[in-house]
């Protein structure tokens, strides 16, 4: 593609000397698991988010899994989340032995609909997982209000929202506990898998630390049944470097998103809404396409491909319509999420994407809309 959907190479080139210095520091120290780099990153990331504690683990999925377990949620308990998320959100619920329950989303923000959440609550519900999707916060005030009314735990899924804000405050600090992913394509991405659990509750942070390594407080002595999910020192060192650049990269994403939004004609291809309560960090720039014959998402993707412009769909099938999860909800029961799955298309967006390329993509869509 002349204009790829995503490209990690320019970012690495811009920080190569810093990355090389950080990795060489780890090699020289020869401490590779749960050492000083991980501890330093945990402190720095917690400070950046505005939380008291961060605990590094080996993926965003495990971050959610351990967050759920730390809250004491287990078999027979229900957790409500949304169907237009990475399957990891539901997989983590099942890993903890709990039962996922799905509610619908809002058409404009594409995040959890509070009324649908409230309607899904049963006497077995123990928690809610609002997903801050594509770089934008869910509307938290009504969700938190309902959760507190029913005494439900709030677990924020921040896998796509590093640095995003709700009412001026960074996400990951509103609920009881939060989970982040550092998959390489995230706004803050490692060079492999990685994740973190964030909380202001010292008890929960300590329990996550025990759970991530066999329940050990003292080596070889398990206080509880745990797992092996540790953020390694190399990834922690890399993330420490990249964290220093995160705000600048998010600003660059917002600049490119603003150009798209200004230039797109908004006739049959609609820009994403930035909600008034949110500061969007545009992990993805997700348009919504009309379903008219000849103007659908599939036609636009093919039109862009002919012009060597990349695009992608996150996510093409809502979770409850995937074979493994058909029992969660019948087709037609979550209509907004189902429509979004048919109409969304993500355009190229990353901090180093040349501004002229952004304009070229927008021009191509304007041509498509003629």
My answer on whether 339 and 281 are in the same domain is yes
Strand, helix or coil at 90? Answer: helix
Give the residue-averaged pLDDT of 188-200: 98
Total number of domains in the chain: 2
288-317: burial string, b at 16+ Cβ within 10 Å, e else: bbeeeeebbbeebbebbeeeebbbbbbbeb
Give the residue-averaged pLDDT of 206-215: 97
pLDDT score for 369 = 85
Residue-wise pLDDT for 141-150, tens only, equals 999 999 999 9
Q: Select from 243, 272, 303 the last residue of a domain.
A: 243
Strand arrangement, sheet containing 165-166 = 169-170, 165-166, 278-279
Tokens of 35: 């050492």
* % pLDDT > 70, the chain: 99
Give the residue-averaged pLDDT of 260-264: 97
Does some domain include residue 169?
yes
Is pLDDT at 276 greater than 90 in this prediction? Answer: yes
Whole-prediction pTM = 0.97
Give the residue-averaged pLDDT of 256-273: 95
Is pLDDT at 58 greater than 70 in this prediction? Answer: yes
Strand arrangement, sheet containing 125-128 = 53-57, 195-199, 177-181, 153-157, 125-128, 78-81, 99-102
Is pLDDT at 321 greater than 70 in this prediction? Answer: yes
Q: Select from 243, 259, 276 the last residue of a domain.
A: 243
Does some domain include residue 4?
no
Tokens of 335: 């209509």
Identify the CATH number of the domain in which residue 75 sits.
3.40.640.10
Does some domain include residue 184?
yes
Residues belonging to the chain: 370
pLDDT score for 216 = 94
Rounded distance between C-alpha atoms, residue 120 and residue 80, angstroms? 7
Give the residue-averaged pLDDT of 166-191: 98
Q: Select from 243, 263, 294 the last residue of a domain.
A: 243
- List all residues 6 or more positions away from 27 whose beta carbon is below 8 Å from its beta carbon: none
Residue-wise pLDDT for 109-155, tens only, equals 999 999 999 999 999 999 999 999 999 999 999 999 999 999 999 99
Residue-wise pLDDT for 279-314, tens only, equals 999 999 999 999 886 678 999 999 999 999 999 999
Give the residue-averaged pLDDT of 251-256: 98
Identify the CATH number of the domain in which residue 300 sits.
3.90.1150.10
pLDDT score for 292 = 81
* Mean model confidence pLDDT for the chain: 97
Give the residue-averaged pLDDT of 195-220: 97
Rounded distance between C-alpha atoms, residue 38 and residue 142, angstroms? 35
């Amino acid at each position: 593609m002349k204009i790829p959907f995503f490209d990690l190479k320019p970012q690495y080139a811009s920080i190569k000397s810093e990355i090389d210095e950080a990795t060489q520091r780890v090699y020289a120290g020869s401490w590779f698991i749960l050492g000083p780099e991980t501890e330093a990153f945990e402190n720095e990331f917690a400070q950046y988010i505005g939380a008291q504690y961060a605990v590094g683990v080996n993926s965003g999925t495990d971050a959610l899994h351990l967050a759920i377990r730390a809250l004491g949620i287990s078999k027979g308990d229900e957790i409500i989340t949304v169907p237009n998320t990475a399957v990891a959100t539901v997989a983590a619920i099942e890993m903890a032995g709990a039962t996922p329950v799905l509610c619908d989303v809002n058409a404009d923000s594409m995040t959890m609909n509070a009324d649908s959440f409230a309607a899904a609550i049963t006497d077995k519900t123990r928690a809610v997982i609002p997903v801050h999707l594509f770089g934008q916060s869910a509307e938290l005030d009504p969700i938190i209000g309902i959760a507190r009314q029913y005494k439900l735990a709030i677990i924020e899924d921040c896998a796509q929202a590093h640095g995003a804000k709700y009412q001026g405050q960074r996400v990951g600090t509103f609920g009881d506990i939060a989970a982040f992913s550092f998959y390489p394509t995230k706004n803050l991405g490692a060079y492999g898998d990685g994740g973190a659990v964030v909380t202001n509750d010292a008890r929960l942070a300590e329990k996550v630390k025990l759970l991530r390594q066999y329940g050990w407080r003292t080596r070889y002595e398990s206080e509880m049944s745990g797992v092996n999910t540790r953020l390694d020192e190399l990834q922690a060192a890399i993330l420490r470097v990249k964290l220093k650049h995160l705000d600048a990269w998010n600003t660059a994403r917002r600049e490119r998103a603003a150009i798209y939004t200004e230039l797109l004609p908004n006739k049959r291809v609609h820009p994403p809404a930035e909600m008034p309560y949110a500061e969007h960090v545009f992990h993805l720039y997700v348009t919504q396409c009309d379903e008219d014959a000849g103007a659908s998402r599939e036609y636009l993707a093919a039109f862009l491909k002919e012009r060597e412009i990349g695009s992608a769909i996150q996510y093409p099938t809502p979770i409850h319509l995937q074979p493994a999860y058909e029992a969660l909800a019948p087709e037609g029961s979550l209509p907004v999420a189902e429509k979004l799955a048919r109409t969304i298309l993500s355009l190229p967006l990353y901090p180093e994407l040349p501004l002229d390329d952004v304009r070229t993509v927008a021009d191509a869509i304007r041509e498509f809309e003629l």
